[in-house]
Amino acid sequence: MEVDIRKEVERKMGLEMQTAPDFVWLSNHIWETIHQKISVNTLKRLWGYLPDEQQVRPMRHTLDVLARFVGYKDLATLQSAVNARDKDSNPSDPVRTVHLETKLYGKGLKVELTWKPDRRVLIEKIDDKGVTFRILESEKSKLSVGDTFDCPLIIENEPLYLSNLVHRGASPISYIAGRLGGIHFQVFEE
């Protein structure tokens, strides 16, 4: 299976590349990390963010730079590592996790959630026996103060799955936070 360098970069960063500022941030972060430059437009083309007529196959040098950015000598070395990882993975291994079953806590439970690159929200449980929360604070997240959602389980280092998210008064939707690197949580009990 051929490696998708975009997924490897997103996995390393814990960030799904979705907005123009994400590409500016990534270009700068690559420079700060390995002192090699990839332009914002090159990254946008690679991720398919630009219109179809501007799409071109990336140069091997660009792919090698991205491979170095995620910690490998070059694209070929990354491909070998991914193949070995996929071959050795067993999807049925038992998992022991640090987690929070939200139904076990009453109204007023406050939880700080953080995920890469620098997203942060503070949430508060607004019902006593259910699993509904309201966002009290939001930093660099698409979630907004006042949004409500249901979340029965929060698992450390795993994506956070929100259901019935009412974002800015719109109809309820589902949402995933920290898809690539997982989330971290801290409980504040009063």
Domain segments of the chain: what residues?
5-88, 99-188
Please report the pLDDT score of residue 55 as a whole number. Answer: 63
What letter does residue 180 receive in the DSSP assignment?
T
pLDDT at 180: 83
Residues 6 or more apart in contact with residue 103 via CB below 8 angstroms:
129, 130, 131, 152
The answer for residues whose C-beta is within 8 angstroms of residue 64's C-beta and 6 or more apart is 74, 75
Position 3 scores a pLDDT of 79
Give the sheet arrangement for strand 173-177, strand by strand: 173-177, 160-166, 148-150, 132-139, 119-125, 110-115, 183-188
Average pLDDT per block of 10 residues along the chain, 190 residues long: 82 84 91 90 88 74 90 87 70 64 88 93 92 95 95 90 92 90 82
Separation between Cα atoms, residue 116 and residue 6, nearest integer Å: 16
